[in-house]
Chain A
Amino acid sequence: MTLQDWLKSSWLVAHKTSQQEIHGRLSVAGREMVDAQVRGLSVDARFGHAYNAALQTALAALAAAGYNVAKGESHHYRGIQSLSYTIGYDASLISKLDKLRKKRNISDYEQAGTVSDQEADEMVQIAKDLRAAVKAWLRQEHPDLLKG
């Protein structure tokens, strides 16, 4: 599988990105990371902010690679899975992040309170690591897309 295959399956659309877009997505992710670390926040809120940061980061990498998730496709699921083909993210980290996505769905729509402190901490950590990994990848592969 490659992102090209995903494009053929209509899971993605080709997309021409810009410095502004990448900067915008990474800024949103950065803001979410700051929010996730505000003292006294509830577990669910901390988890939610960190999750959003990770998702925006993944979508920034996908945009830099020249794609967007197609309409009607699950942005969250595809965005997370695409990390394997954009930055070559480790398979076990992808399955962990995907379980955290599932957890967010359950916690938002089915049963509140299923996120533990420890899981929220892990979500914050994975969002931080992902951000660093995507930034390093951008510097390496798409330096033209980073604002000086």
Chain B
Amino acid sequence: MGTKSSHESMSAALFGRTRRTVLGLLYTHPEESFYVRQMVRAAGVGQGAVQRELRRLSAAGIIERQQRGRQVFYCANRRSPVFNELHSLMVKTAGLADILRQALEPLADGVRVAFVYGSVASGAENARSDVDVMVIGKATFGDVVQTFHPAEAQLSREVNPTVYSPHEFKAKLAAKHHFLTSVLKEPKVFLIGDEHDLTGLAEK
């Protein structure tokens, strides 16, 4: 079972804080460009450390440096041969899922399964895409909205939750509810629980 602690350490184990933040921001917003200042603020480290990281990543072609007049921006490089892999890695770890997982922590006791679906999970998102999250367990829509509220600012994306009780989830699946069955066939990024837990909820 994918526990929260193992996920939290994943991004930290893979990358140092500055690289994690820079890649996380750029690769979960591949349509947007960011100022150095924005990344310094997000990373909470010195400007020098961020500048060093940006130089290395752009020299390797992982990110792209753009200049408009006197202003310098950075963005994810879609032409990089590892773009797809890094994008998916960042969505699953530092850039998005870790932030949502942390936000869900106060509700973790009651929630059986939670996952991201829709365009962000499948990699088809654009700059304005919202993050669709399905939550199954003992939590109210109000609880979930409130717990995700600070994460929305951090992610610069709106989070749209759909909340089911385990009972309703099972009943709707059994009735072949169109929305639920189609979501279950789509790509997902798990925040709490895993595919196995989800199948368990459907069968129990």
Chain A residues near B (Cβ < 8 Å): 92-93, 95-96, 99-100, 102-103, 106, 111-119, 122, 126
Contacts and interface: CB of A to CB of B under 8 A. Distances in A.
What interface size band does chain B fall in? Answer: 10 to 19
Given A95-B149, A113-B178, A113-B180, A122 B164 contact: no
A92 B163 CA distance: 17
B102 interface: no
B162 interface: yes
Given A96-B146, A122-B140, A122-B142, A117 B178 contact: no
A118 B142 contact: no
Given A102-B158, A117-B168, A122-B141, 12 more contacts: A96-B141, A96-B146, A102-B160, A112-B179, A115-B162, A116-B141, A116-B168, A117-B165, A118-B164, A119-B162, A122-B140, A126-B142
A99 B145 contact: yes
Contacts of B164: 116, 118
B160 A119 contact: no
B141 A95 contact: no
A13 B32 CA distance: 36
Interface in B169-183: 177-180
A94 to B, nearest CB: 10
A92 to B, nearest CB: 5
A119 B169 CA distance: 13
A118 B141 contact: yes
Interface string B4-24: 000000000000000000000
B179 A111 contact: yes
Contacts of A115: 162
Interface of B: 140-142, 145-146, 149, 158, 160-165, 168, 177-180
Contacts, number: 52
10 contacts: A93-B142, A99-B145, A99-B160, A112-B179, A113-B178, A116-B141, A116-B162, A117-B165, A118-B141, A122-B140
Nearest to B152: A95
A78 to B, nearest CB: 18
Contacts of A99: 141, 145, 160-161
A118 B179 contact: no
A118 to B, nearest CB: 6
A117 B149 CA distance: 22
Name which of B141, B149, B158 has the most chain A CB atoms within 10 A of its CB. Answer: B141
Given A99-B141, A111-B179, A118-B165, A92 B146 contact: yes
Given A96-B145, A118-B168, A112 B163 contact: no
Contacts of B149: 92, 95
A117 B162 CA distance: 10
A25 to B, nearest CB: 25
Nearest to A92: B146
Name which of B140, B160, B162, B180 has the most chain A CB atoms within 10 A of its CB. Answer: B162
A119 B163 contact: yes
A113 B145 contact: no
